[in-house]
């Protein structure tokens, strides 16, 4: 799988842009606020239907305009797919796949698999469990649309159960209806939990191998998935029953707190380096190396699951890591289509970009060097 072409109209700072990245490494260089990140943001938007920079779609429209259009062509072993994203001020975003409008984002998942690394991804280490769950959820959703729909379903059920918990404090007769919501949460949560267990099991050794390679073979990366319930047997029926039993046993506590205290919205993924919790200790370089290793593992997970290589999007990933780690990163990604942004290539070894297509980005214009 590779991105053959992407066209932008009134997207961010771009009035118009046609961009054809090569199948290997394409480098976007230039000063800040010239449009480098906006290019890969558009690619990611065609993959997931969402921006990685904002939850407000209206911010994507170029200032002074009232609509935007993004068109991308993806080449896969099965042929070519075209994805069009359209947005008008005041309207909902519209997405077409091969000329047919999609009603749900899940229909887009898997058509353009992308792995994105940006500075915000360091939240995986620096912030709370929601960021680490997001890493798992995005990776799994791109290869399993059912997982994406299950997450949406789970969040709806969770919201409804929490609303009921608050209502019970005013009307105790409503407590008997909790059983129905316990059953529904247990059903969906058991599937999500098992998919997360499977995912972590598949990437843990790959991520550790990448991290070991990127760190002079001096650091060992360990990952531990911590579900909110004890999981001993990886069978759906067992996990589902465990969820139901714990939810039922904790009803009074949940009513008192007015919220559901267990479930996959409470899970975590703990990264360690040489046995030390990376969330609490570790240099910026170590943290960045760990997240890059996880992104590389995510790429191989997607390729193994789908048979197609994902597009790798790297936004300013070379800072804060030393020359050796930079060199290894290029070696480890050479077989994937990669779009990389850097502010300046002066001072970088020629060997890094020897086979790259290099574009200077200035004032929302791309000029091939």
CATH of the domain at 164: 1.20.1050.90
Tell me phi and psi for residue 368, to 5 degrees.
-75, 135
CB atoms within 10 A of CB 335: 11
Long-range CB contacts (within 8 A, 24+) of 19-22: 19/366, 21/337, 21/339, 21/357, 22/337, 22/357
CB 46 within 8 A of CB 85: yes
Same domain, yes or no: 301 and 312: no
- Listed residues 306, 326, 352: the one ending a domain: 306
Same domain, yes or no: 55 and 191: no
Q: Which domain holds residue 349?
A: 1-113+308-369
CB 42 within 8 A of CB 6: yes
* Interior angle at CA 131, CA 125 and CA 132, nearest 5: 70
- Listed residues 281, 306, 331: the one ending a domain: 306
Same domain, yes or no: 131 and 273: yes
Q: What's the whole-model pTM score?
A: 0.92
Same domain, yes or no: 108 and 133: no
Tokens of 199: 């995912």
Tokens of 29: 């260089």
* Residue 236 pLDDT: 62
For residues 216-253, one letter each, b for 16 or more C-beta atoms within 10 angstroms of the residue's C-beta and e for the rest, the string is: eeebebbbebebbbebeeeeeeebbebbbebbeebeee
**Comparing C-alpha atoms, which of 6, 94, 82, 74 is closest to residue 42?**
6
CA distance 69 to 82: 13
Same domain, yes or no: 302 and 162: yes
CATH of the domain at 369: 3.40.50.300
* Residue 233 pLDDT: 55
Provide the domain count of the chain: 2
- Listed residues 258, 274, 306: the one ending a domain: 306
Same domain, yes or no: 105 and 165: no
* Mean per-residue pLDDT pooled into runs of 10, the chain (369 residues): 96 96 94 92 94 91 95 94 94 94 88 91 92 95 94 97 96 94 96 95 95 90 92 72 95 96 95 91 85 94 94 87 85 92 80 87 90
**Comparing C-alpha atoms, which of 62, 45, 47 is closest to residue 9?**
62
- Sign of dihedral through CA atoms 301, 306, 307, 308? negative
Burial class (CB in 10 A: 0-12, 13-18, 19+), 344: exposed
Same domain, yes or no: 225 and 366: no
Same domain, yes or no: 61 and 127: no
């Amino acid at each position: 799988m590779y991105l053959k072409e992407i066209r932008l109209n009134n997207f961010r700072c771009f009035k118009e842009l046609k961009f054809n990245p090569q199948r290997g490494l394409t480098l976007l260089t230039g000063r800040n606020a010239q449009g480098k990140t906006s290019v890969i943001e558009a690619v990611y938007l065609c993959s997931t239907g969402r921006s990685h920079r904002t939850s407000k779609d209206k911010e994507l429209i170029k200032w002074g305009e009232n609509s935007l259009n993004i068109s991308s062509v993806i080449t896969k072993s099965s042929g070519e797919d075209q994805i069009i994203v359209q947005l008008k001020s005041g309207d909902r975003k519209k997405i077409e796949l091969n000329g047919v409008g999609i009603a749900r984002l899940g229909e887009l998942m898997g058509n353009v698999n992308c792995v994105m690394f940006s500075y915000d991804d360091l939240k995986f280490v620096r912030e709370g469990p929601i960021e680490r769950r997001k890493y798992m959820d995005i990776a799994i959703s791109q290869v399993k649309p059912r997982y994406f729909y299950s997450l949406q379903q789970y969040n709806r059920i969770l919201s409804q159960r929490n609303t009921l918990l608050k209502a019970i404090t005013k009307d105790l007769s409503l407590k008997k209806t909790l059983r129905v919501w316990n059953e529904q949460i247990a059903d969906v949560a058991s599937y999500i939990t098992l998919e997360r267990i499977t995912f972590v099991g598949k990437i843990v050794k790959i991520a550790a191998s990448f991290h070991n390679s990127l760190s002079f073979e001096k650091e060992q990366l360990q990952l531990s998935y911590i579900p909110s319930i004890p999981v001993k047997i990886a069978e759906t029926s067992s996990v589902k029953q465990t969820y139901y039993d714990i939810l039922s046993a904790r009803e009074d506590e949940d009513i008192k707190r007015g919220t559901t205290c267990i479930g996959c919205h409470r899970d975590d993924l703990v990264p360690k380096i040489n046995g030390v919790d990376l969330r609490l200790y570790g240099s910026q370089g170590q943290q960045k190396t760990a997240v890059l290793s996880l992104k590389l593992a995510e790429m191989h997970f997607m390729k193994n699951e789908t048979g197609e290589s994902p597009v790798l999007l790297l936004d300013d990933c070379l800072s804060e890591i030393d020359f050796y780690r930079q060199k290894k990163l290029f070696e480890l990604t050479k077989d994937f289509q990669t779009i990389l942004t850097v502010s300046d290539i002066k001072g970088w070894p020629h060997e890094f970009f020897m086979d790259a297509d290099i574009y200077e980005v200035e004032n929302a214009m791309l000029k091939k060097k």
